[in-house]
Amino acid sequence: MKKINRRAFSVLLIAAFVIIGMSVYVLRYIDHGQDWALYFSRANSGSTGELTDRNDLMLASFSATENLFAQDADTRIANYHVTGDYWGRTGTGVLSNYWKDMQGFSLLTGTTKAESSTLRLNIDAALNKTAYAALNGRKGAVLLCDYTTGELLCMVSSPSVDPMQGDAEPPEGAYINRCLSAAFVPGSVFKLITAAAAIENLDNIDGRSFYCEGSYDIAGVEIKCSGTHYTQTFEQALSNSCNCAFAQIAVMLGQDTMIKYVKDYGFLDGHKLDGIPTAAGAYPTEFVGDPELAWSGIGQSTDLVCPYSLLRFVSAVGNGGVLCEPRLIYSEKAPDKSRFMEAGTAKKLGQMMSYNVSAHYGGENSFPGLRLCAKTGTAELGDGTSHAWFAGFLSDEAHPYAFVVLVEQGGGGLSAAGTLANTLLQAAVSK
């Protein structure tokens, strides 16, 4: 009897293991079945498909026999960080992130669909090509979107690679999408965040004056400015990009307020661009003293900003404080909208950015035909070089475009990034 009991127990134990094992398998099949089906042939599984830009230009296509990219090499290179490749070498590529959707895996049959599929992007491949050519071999990032719809029209990272030259040795950092997957010292473009916080928290900010004699001493630490601006208004301080004034403003606001606004505007968060993760930024959360707070308010200290986060910010400013989340994939659905900042704050900040252009950036002479609102940034690095930034939007109902341009170690924000932005915007409005 004991032997029978032991055998019965053994059978029940084996049955339990089988049931548990099958349950685990079914659950994992539901979660990972498509990955398993596509593992051995990432290139294709008998299905065919195409990836196109907003103008239906073929950027990539696959079939049972071959994988292709755009015929023009410059187009392939300029759009590489958007498309990616069939080997998943860049984490932001649509081919990697939307491969399952394009293959059309069936959970019931364990196979992919046989009919052809097309995935259309909001990207304008020609604008990407223009932006990449304007970077002219320099490292950098360029973003352009419609701030009323969220449609991402341009996303370029340099250096890049030609996905059809898979065996070629790529330039250092070529697989990193600098628009989404990296964060940089922002320099004076960060003054936009400080300015927004000041508009909402400092009484009669427009009636205040700020004095600059080329440097500002705070607790024995010297904050140097790019010039001597003497007595200036709040609007003039932003236009002059005065370090002395914005160091004072940051200290007036206090660390708690500065941290709150940096967090509220999403600069410390990683975001999702149609499911593709983006890099988080950085900002001091424990200040040693007022000097560090002052430096942080002008975009130095340990500040880091992801270009994509800055694009969200200037898009919201251009759209009256309402953020339409940027969209890479074409969709007929209405964009996701949310109140990002107070309408009055966005209006005031936009007016100040417009004044920047007319007073200091050359206005119509430098940006002909463009109703431009912008801010430069010259982010000083420890090696004596500086990142060049230019960010803003067009106050133009026919061309509601927000943009961010970064040229790594490019020097002056206006001369390097501003010139590139003009090239891109002129191409965009001419379409």
What is the Cα–Cα distance from 186 to 360, expressed in whole angstroms? 20
Place of tokens 């119509």: 364
pLDDT of residue 169: 84
Instruction: Indicate the helix (H) or strand (E) that contains 159.
Output: none
> Is the pLDDT confidence value at 332 over 60?
yes
CATH fold, domain 187-429, is: Beta-lactamase (3.40.710)
Q: CB count, 10 Å around CB of 272?
A: 11
pLDDT of residue 3: 57
Beta bridge partners of 389: 377, 406
What is the Cα–Cα distance from 198 to 238, expressed in whole angstroms? 12
What is the Cα–Cα distance from 224 to 107, expressed in whole angstroms? 63
Q: Which amino acid is located at 308 in the chain? A: Y
Q: What is the pLDDT of residues 99-132, one digit of tens each?
A: 877 776 554 544 455 556 889 999 999 999 999 9
Structure tokens at 47: 């299905």
Domain-wise residue ranges, the chain? 187-429
The SS3 assignment for 139 reads coil
pTM metric for this prediction:
0.88
What is the Cα–Cα distance from 159 to 66, expressed in whole angstroms? 27
pLDDT of residue 8: 60
> Is the pLDDT confidence value at 289 over 90?
no
What's the whole-number average pLDDT of the chain? Answer: 89
What is the Cα–Cα distance from 419 to 188, expressed in whole angstroms? 17
> Is the pLDDT confidence value at 305 over 50?
yes
**What is the average pLDDT across 367-387?**
95
> Is the pLDDT confidence value at 266 over 60?
yes
**With bands split at pLDDT 50, 70 and 90, how would you rate the model's confidence at 175?**
very high
